[in-house]
Chains A and B, each alone.
Chain A
Amino acid sequence: MTDWLGPAEWQAVALSLRVSFWATLVSLPLGIAVAYALARWSFPGKQLVNGIVHLPLILPPVVTGYVLLLTLGTQGPVGGILADWGIVLAFRWTGAAVAAAVMAFPLMVRAIRLSIEAIDPKLEQASATLGAPPVWVFLTVTLPMALPGIIAGTILAFAKAMGEFGATITFVSNIPGQTRTIPSAIYAFLQVPGGEGAAMKLVIVSVVVAMGALLLSELLARRVAARVGGA
């Protein structure tokens, strides 16, 4: 396997997996919180929050990447403060993870929100009458019942993060070993003569990872749905 993929390709695959893993893991709690708020609460500015969450889905990815560069770059308002604390995102793999997380966030929130909305609030009421404080209602009723949606959202977000290109290359460029993820690497290989072979290998890796994620998601969702639905 190591012989089949050269060191440069391996680097891209490993980096993509790392970036996508952290992007998904860190955004998951926030995704659940935002999805819950959008599904269950009414508050002023709810449509605004909803719009901002969905913005990366409809904006050109390059625009999102550029906005990230403007705000999170070392010269940007947020990036400047982070830089003072020693956290630099621009042109680092962590920045690639942020870009991937932002781009995948709407997909994650949508899937989780739908599954929370499908839960009958009467069950949450029943939980409260049995003495469960709100946090426990969430942990013992809402969360487990929303699990199929959470799994679907997580895997969808992971797959999206693996494939993210436009925002990543704009925000953190295409630095081998640092920000050259699989899509960036494919793009780079196609720019040099004789790079098609390496590009094709990465394409195959992409397809395998994507299919694997999809199958895993189906499998898990089916198993959890059987538990939740009781069938």
Chain B
Amino acid sequence: MLEVTVKHSFKGFTLDTAFKAPAGVTVLFGRSGSGKTTLVNAVAGLLMPDQGRIVADDWVLLDTAKGIRLRPHKRRLGYVFQEGRLFPHLTVRQNLAYGAWFAPKGAPREDLPRVVDMLGLGALLDRRPTALSGGEKQRVAIGRALLSAPRLILADEPLAALDEARKAEILPYFERLRDEVSVPILYVSHSASEVARLATTVVALDAGRVVVQGPAAEVLGDPAVRPGGTREMGAVLMARVLQHHEDGLTELDAGGLPLFLPRVRAACGTVLRIRIAAHDVILSRARPEGLSALNMLAGTVAAIRTGDGPGALVALDTKAGRILARITRRSVAALGLAEGQTCYAVVKSVAVAPEDIGGTHTMPAQG
């Protein structure tokens, strides 16, 4: 458990935050300029905040009230930077070994062969960083951080500098990290799909303040939370792969409800996280007939949020989990939607993009 309280003022910007990060991946989510990187740098010790207290388990990294300010090298946090920051004068193997040199003897650590295997670095070991692609660099950076026997891994938008194909290449490695390594991860992102795929816990930031924090499904299903803007809104469902049909569709089981998606590359029985973008969901009061969409999930309206614009966000509790739908206020009025009413969420199979489907995952207990 990481507990962070930080107050810091720059010119024209004040960061005033407090959050807790339990085991798993905690995503600091917010627009650029919301203070995410500042916060991570404060945890890493690269920035000494005006006031604050940062405790990882029982290890006090910072306590300004008591005058404790640990230097970065004493914090034992593995930091994966946005731009990799591999050492250009060392080979990949030496870069990986670098963190291990300084790790305390006897600290629980990953061994090199396992990390090399997990991140697929075998063929790269004797190369130098300049001979690596962006995605390869980030994989090495992840391995280097992991091998330094960290108490916590920090990742500051590690995919932001990569193109979409490279992002799709790296994201599964973070999923493996989350599922196979016991080290908690603090992950900075402004991408809703990254949050949906990785987050165990979400801490949403806006203008230097924590807007909301809690388990991922809860925060992402809350229509009031929109740090990435309404276009980025979407809830996350957990579903188990049941069957791959011959017509190219994969049938999944989401809390007892069937879900059909375009072919998902995962074995039967695998549990996946699926992000359903709010603007891809259609609501219907009655079960629709003669509709092309394959997925219809019955539920009850949990909340309706309207703003100044023409749009409204409707949260629907289904057996599969909470679903968010972005529709118009006019539709809310026309359908006469109100909290507690029964309703159907209609989702086109092809609306779910491959990048919205996360890899193997054991569902964490969520309150």
Contact = CB atoms under 8 A, between A and B. Distances in A.
B71 to A, nearest CB: 7
A133 B130 contact: no
The 4 closest A-B pairs by CB, nearest first: A131-B102, A230-B130, A230-B128, A126-B85
A120 B144 CA distance: 19
**Chain B interface secondary structure, helix, strand, loop or mixed?**
mixed
- The CB with the most chain A CB atoms within 10 A, among B81, B88, B98, B99, is that of B88
Contact of B129 (A122, A134, A145, A230): A230
Nearest to B149: A131
Interface in A178-231: 227-231
Given A230-B129, A230-B130, A231-B130, A129 B44 contact: yes
Contacts of A120: 85
Contacts of B77: 129
A229 B90 CA distance: 10
B139 interface: no
B112 to A, nearest CB: 15
Interface string A129-149: 111111011001100110000
B81 A122 contact: yes
A211 to B, nearest CB: 29
Interface of B: 44-46, 71-79, 81, 83, 85, 87-89, 98-99, 101-103, 128-131, 144-145, 148, 154
A52 B73 CA distance: 35
Nearest to B85: A126
Interface in A100-137: 120, 122-123, 125-134, 136-137
Contact of A229 (B45, B130, B144): B130
Contact of A132 (B44, B83, B102, B128): B102
Contacts of A129: 44-46, 72-73, 75, 77-79, 154
A83 B83 CA distance: 57
Given A125-B72, A229-B130, A131 B99 contact: yes
A228 B78 CA distance: 24
Contacts of B81: 122, 126
B78 A230 contact: no
A140 B98 contact: yes
A136 B87 CA distance: 14
Contacts of B144: 130
11 contacts: A120-B85, A122-B85, A128-B46, A129-B44, A129-B73, A130-B145, A131-B74, A131-B148, A137-B73, A145-B89, A230-B89
A231 B99 CA distance: 24
A136 B102 contact: yes
Contacts of B75: 129
A141 B87 contact: yes
A229 B85 CA distance: 14
Given A229-B88, A230-B89, 20 more contacts: A120-B85, A122-B81, A125-B46, A125-B72, A126-B79, A126-B81, A126-B85, A128-B72, A129-B73, A129-B75, A129-B78, A129-B79, A129-B154, A130-B144, A133-B102, A134-B73, A140-B98, A228-B88, A230-B128, A230-B130
Nearest to A231: B130
A128 B87 CA distance: 12
Given A125-B46, A145-B88, A227-B89, A130 B99 contact: yes
B73 A133 contact: yes
Contacts of A136: 102
